[in-house]
Amino acid sequence: QQPVQSPQAVILREGEDAVINCSSSKALYSVHWYRQKHGEAPVFLMILLKGGEQKGHDKISASFNEKKQQSSLYLTASQLSYSGTYFCGTVHTSGNTPLVFGKGTRLSVIA
Amino acid sequence: DGGITQSPKYLFRKEGQNVTLSCEQNLNHDAMYWYRQDPGQGLRLIYYSQIVNDFQKGDIAEGYSVSREKKESFPLTVTSAQKNPTAFYLCASSHRARAGGPQETQYFGPGTRLLVL
């Protein structure tokens, strides 16, 4: 089942913050976040494996709320390089189950 | 350098023609995947393979075929049965999950853009 991402698109000025949400109608086992620049391959950002887990890399962090069956990606003090489309990929069980990706959130950071 | 390569970068298909997209990885990954990307649709799974000589259909397998004769290679054929093949095709690979463990990180190749003449 495809997770639902919101918002679909967002425009930020440099230095502003953003939150991207990824929700599922089914219990989640893990959530994977990727960023894709136009015409390029998606690049892995982070995996969240447990309910309540939070991770961060530079000024990008994420949380995983198992009860709410959702994950959120937080972009703090955005930079021009943050522009791109962000995808969450979800898995509902352990083991070798392929990711199911949301439709993506297009983030544009302007000067 | 380890990585995933896809070729060609652009591919043109004529009506009724089968075309094959190449995907090679030297990351020693067991699992490989093919995704199709259309504007506004995200990434949709076509086929995946967890081990050599075995593969499974994804959500949109109709009109596509694959083979996995070598660990490093997972070519995708777009057949004439696929009526709307214009899209960006992405190949990915990952280690297999440990027993009871989570799905491993997937790494993507640079993609092939397929256009119909």
Per-residue pLDDT, B102: 72
Q: How far is A4 from chain B, CA to nearest CA, in Å?
A: 11
Summarize pLDDT for A63-86 with one digit per residue, the tens. Answer: 998 888 999 999 999 999 999 999
Q: Quote the minimal CA–CA distance from A27 to chain B in Å.
A: 14
Strand order in the sheet with B76-78: B4-7, B19-25, B76-78, B64-66
- Under the banding of pLDDT at 50, 70 and 90, the label for residue A92 is confident
Model confidence over A19-75: pLDDT tens digits? 999 999 988 888 999 999 988 999 999 999 866 666 677 789 999 988 889 999 999
Cα B54 to Cα B46: distance, rounded to the nearest angstrom? 14
Contact check, Cβ <8 Å, B102/A47: yes
What's the pLDDT band for B103 if we cut at 50, 70, 90? confident
The whole-angstrom separation of Cα B82 and Cα B45 is 15
